Structure 1
């Protein structure tokens, strides 16, 4: 928890709270609502699937829980960061449904924070798991794309 990069965790939570800013939507159509709900459900499913695989080893910080095994099964076969991907997809649905310019800006900042956090975390995972993580990273995308270590 003493990792200096943990400010990314606080930034992530602050941006998630900012997504709740009130205001009237700038547009609204039934198809927008349907798409927003689908994105929300898909995103929630991804995030929950990632959390379930981690179980008691789930931590919000950038370093893995000491002694936790590297998880490469389940949803982690398809992405190294299903929780972040799920958060991004679900909040994209929220932003689409709320249809506010300031929420689009907040979402872009959230995406930047989560992508940065994923890159920082991969360095901590290399420190913890070494070649086992490098091999996993070579075959599994960080989010949707970008296999390997960058």
Structure 2
């Protein structure tokens, strides 16, 4: 099994653990699947797990890597595990929650939209997409499609996806956990953009001058 396949299998296992923790937090299968919006989220999660099998995502250090940025990976992991369980648990306990089924549906829509935005760039980048901050062999800039406007669409997808998850459980704690992703995410973006600038120089500067970093019209 090659590295990409191993990473895909790991991603599927992580997604299933994530979903399992949410089911546990909400009190079991019956409680979780009694909410139609959460059923939709579960199905969307399984679809994303299946799609990950067809990507070329990897964990290659490539030709050059910014190893100093690896600290963000365990941070993402810890926040991810907390986000899997705590919003569902606070929903069950009705602790610091808000809204009703309508909010759950808003969350479901955002979760799916964020998931699509998260995985779409993985297909676009192919072997250039690494879980590490690295320049891959034959690395070239992608400046068309969604990258014509946004330099980091997958990270925007991650934030929208996480916010949707929090809203699906009506969880203020989940929103706080989503906000806690920002420092590590911005550090990751800074590291990636610095590495790309060192690799592509004026070409990357020109690209940055006509695109948004994360949120169109804002940042």
Bin of the TM-score, shorter chain as denominator length: 0.7 to 0.9
Checking the alignment, whether the CA contact within 8 Å between 2:107 and 2:165 is kept in structure 1 is: yes
What's the TM-score once normalised by structure 2's chain length?
0.62
Q: Higher RCO, 1 or 2 (CA under 8 Å, sep at least 6)?
A: 1
Once the two structures are TM-superposed, the CA of residue 147 in structure 1 deviates from its matched residue by 8.8
Over 3 Å counting, the alpha-carbon distance change for 1:101 and 1:33 in structure 2 is closer
SS at match of 2:111: helix
Question: Does structure 1 retain, via aligned residues, the 8 Å contact 2:76–2:181?
Answer: yes
- Structure 1: how far apart are the matches of 2:136 and 2:189? 15
Q: CA deviation at 1:145?
A: 4.4
Contact 2:103 2:170 survives alignment (8 Å): no
Q: How does 1:61-140 map to 2 (within 5 A)?
A: 61-140=132-211
The structure with the largest alpha-carbon Rg is: 2
Q: 1:42 to 1:121 in 2, by over 3 A?
A: same
CA-CA distance at 1:45 after TM superposition: 1.4
The 2-side partners of 1:55 and 1:48 are apart by: 11
**Any stretches of 5+ residues in structure 1 without a counterpart?**
none
The number of residue pairs the alignment matches comes to 148
Once residues 217 and 195 of structure 2 are traced to their aligned partners in structure 1, the CA distance between those partners, rounded to angstroms, is 18
Within 2, Cα distance between the matches of 1:64 and 1:87? Answer: 22
Which of 1, 4, 27 aligns to 2:98? It is 27
Note the alpha carbon deviations across 1:85-143, whole angstroms, 9 max, x for none: 00000110001122334322221111221122111211011011111111111111110
- 2:72 corresponds, among 8, 11, 16, to 8
Tell me, which stretches of 5 or more residues in structure 2 are unaligned? 1-60, 92-96
Aligned-residue offset at 1:56: 1.7
TM-score of the pair, normalised by structure 1: 0.87
